[in-house]
Structure formats: structure tokens, C-alpha cells
């Protein structure tokens, strides 16, 4: 709910703070790690019963988590490593705070209330895993009644008013369970798109990066299944070389004939003229051998 409705307004408010922090030279990863340190310290103080100090440390834990994103945008240091570190840090912070609350409740008058904090921790991990797995399949899985920001604020309220801590944990557990069901239904419906709908799309549209989330999920699922399908037969290197060698041998055999034909086409006129002269000479020789040609030649000599 927070990511869908209040995220843009919060980003507009934290963007100037991120620019100021960027000028100071603080790294976004350092800010994220600092938030984890405050979260572990807050969980330890809450476990020892120092709820006032734990409340202050929890606030200090939330500020770095709120500002590391605007700082990364302002400094241009947004990277997959930073996103991965931020996601892992969120899980560590949630675990540290809820384990501290569970330890605190185990030492109270009703030790069984500690299982409330453990249940909240378990369902929060399920919600986070649903989002991570859905995004790996190409489906958007944000949204719900109780996301991480709402859980953090509700837990902050419960620590501030210790008498209401157990009822707040019940509310968090109930709304978090509803959120897990909502996300499961959303991802389930997103992955149920028929492949015929995707095939009906034009190739130019199907290959674009702004496809609907359901279509991207279907393509990702098909790519995953393609690894287990039998691959087509690949021609061996020996067969390819052998066919190429046969083609080369055929070219070499026909090469002299082709060269001679080319040369004869270029010099055919010369040979045709020479053959014509030889034919004329042979005809002339045959005429000289006749008796009429001898009598005519003798008369010419007498005159």
C-alpha cells in the first residue's frame, strides 16, 4: 500500500535530502550498512528491555533505509550490487528487530507472546520471497495491506507504547497474512496467461522491453523449460570438414576445364580465323591437283 500510493510523495520529499548527502561524499552502500548496524543495536536494546533506547535506534535504522535510494539516484550510483545489498539488508534488519521483540516478550508475564513476533517474522519472509520470486519470473508483485514500510511503522508504534505491543503484533500478523494471500493470488493469475495470447502478438511487440508483466513471465517460463527440451542434432566438425573438402575437390577437378573455356572464349576469334585460313589453303591445294588446273597453268606459262 505504501509503495503504490505514498511512494511518489515520499520520493519528492527525500530527493533534496539525497542531493545534500551526495555532496557530502557518503556512499549509498555505506548508508545501507549503517542502517543494518542500527537495526542490530535496536534489536539488542529491545531484547534487554531498554525500549526507549531501542525506539531511538529503530528510528535511526529507518532513516538510512529511507535515504539510501534517493542518495543513489542523486549520485548516479544505482547498480545491481546496490539493489542486492539493500534487499539483503532489509531482511537482516527485520530479523534483528523481531528477534529482539520476541526475546523481550519471552521474559514478560506471558512468554508465549514471543511466538507472535516469530510468526510476524515468518510471514514477512514469505511476503519478501513472493516478491523476489515473482520479479524473477517477470511478474510485478508489489502491493498489499501490510508491506515492509507498514510493518516497520506499526512495530515502531508498538515499541513506543509497550502496553500495546502485543495487540499491534496481532494486527501485523493478521494483515501480513492477508498481504501474503493477495500477492500469491496476484502472481498466480499473472503466470496463468495462455501461450496463444503471446503468440498472437506481433514479433515487434513481443520483443520489446515494455511488454505486459504476464507476457514477460510467460516468455521467461518458456526459456526456463527450453533448457530441459532435447536439442536438435548438431553436425560434427568432421562431417562439416569432409563436405567442405569434397566441394573443394570438385572445384579443383573442374578448374582446368573452366580455365580453358574462359581462355578460349576470349581468344576464340583468333582460332576461328586461323582455322578458316587453313581450310582455304587445303581447298587451294586440292584444286592444284586437278588436270584442268595443270592445263590452265601450262597455257599461262606459254603465253
Report, as residue numbers or ranges, the catalytic residues.
90
Phi-psi region at 74: left, alpha or beta (left = phi > 0; alpha = psi -120 to 50): alpha
Q: Measure the CA dihedral 132/133/137/143, to 10°.
A: -60
Please check whether residue 141 is in contact with residue 134, taking contact to mean a CB–CB distance below 8 angstroms.
yes
Could you give the angle at the alpha carbon of 180 between the alpha carbons of 177 and 184, nearest 5°? 145
Please check whether residue 158 is in contact with residue 168, taking contact to mean a CB–CB distance below 8 angstroms.
yes
Distance CA 32, CA 42 (A): 15
Backbone angles phi, psi at 145, to 5 degrees: -75, -35
Could you give the angle at the alpha carbon of 39 between the alpha carbons of 84 and 143, nearest 5°? 55
Distance CA 19, CA 70 (A): 8
**Site of grid cell 520470486:** 133
* CA–centroid distance for 120 within its chain: 32
Amino acid at each position: 500500500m505504501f509503495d503504490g500510493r505514498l511512494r511518489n510523495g515520499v520520493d519528492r520529499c527525500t530527493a533534496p535530502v539525497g542531493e545534500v548527502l551526495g555532496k557530502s561524499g557518503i556512499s549509498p552502500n555505506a548508508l545501507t550498512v549503517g542502517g543494518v548496524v542500527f537495526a542490530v543495536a535496536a534489536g539488542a536494546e529491545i531484547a534487554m528491555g531498554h525500549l526507549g533506547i531501542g525506539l531511538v535506534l529503530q528510528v535511526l535504522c529507518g532513516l538510512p533505509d529511507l535515504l539510501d535510494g534517493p542518495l543513489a539516484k542523486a549520485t548516479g550510483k544505482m547498480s545491481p550490487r546496490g539493489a542486492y545489498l539493500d534487499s539483503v539488508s532489509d531482511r537482516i534488519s527485520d530479523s534483528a528487530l523481531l528477534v529482539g521483540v520476541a526475546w523481550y516478550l519471552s521474559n514478560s508475564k506471558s512468554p508465549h507472546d514471543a511466538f507472535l513476533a516469530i510468526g510476524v517474522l515468518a510471514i514477512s519472509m514469505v511476503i519478501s520471497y513472493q516478491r523476489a520470486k515473482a520479479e524473477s519470473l517477470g511478474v510485478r508483485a508489489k502491493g498489499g495491506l501490510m508491506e515492509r514500510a507498514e510493518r516497520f511503522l506499526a512495530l515502531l508504534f508498538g515499541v513506543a507504547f509497550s502496553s500495546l505491543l502485543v495487540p499491534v503484533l496481532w494486527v501485523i500478523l493478521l494483515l501480513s497474512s492477508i498481504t501474503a494471500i493477495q500477492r500469491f493470488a496476484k502472481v498466480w493469475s499473472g503466470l496463468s496467461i495462455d501461450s496463444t495470447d503471446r503468440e498472437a502478438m506481433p514479433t515487434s511487440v513481443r520483443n520489446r522491453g515494455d511488454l505486459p508483466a504476464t507476457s514477460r513471465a510467460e516468455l521467461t517460463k518458456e526459456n526456463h523449460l527450453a533448457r530441459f527440451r532435447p536439442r536438435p542434432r548438431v553436425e560434427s566438425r568432421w562431417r562439416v570438414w569432409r563436405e567442405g573438402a569434397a566441394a573443394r575437390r570438385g572445384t579443383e577437378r573442374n578448374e582446368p576445364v573452366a580455365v580453358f573455356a574462359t581462355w578460349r572464349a576470349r581468344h576464340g576469334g583468333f582460332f576461328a580465323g586461323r582455322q578458316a585460313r587453313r581450310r582455304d589453303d587445303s581447298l587451294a591445294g586440292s584444286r592444284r591437283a586437278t588436270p584442268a588446273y595443270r592445263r590452265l597453268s601450262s597455257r599461262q606459262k606459254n603465253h
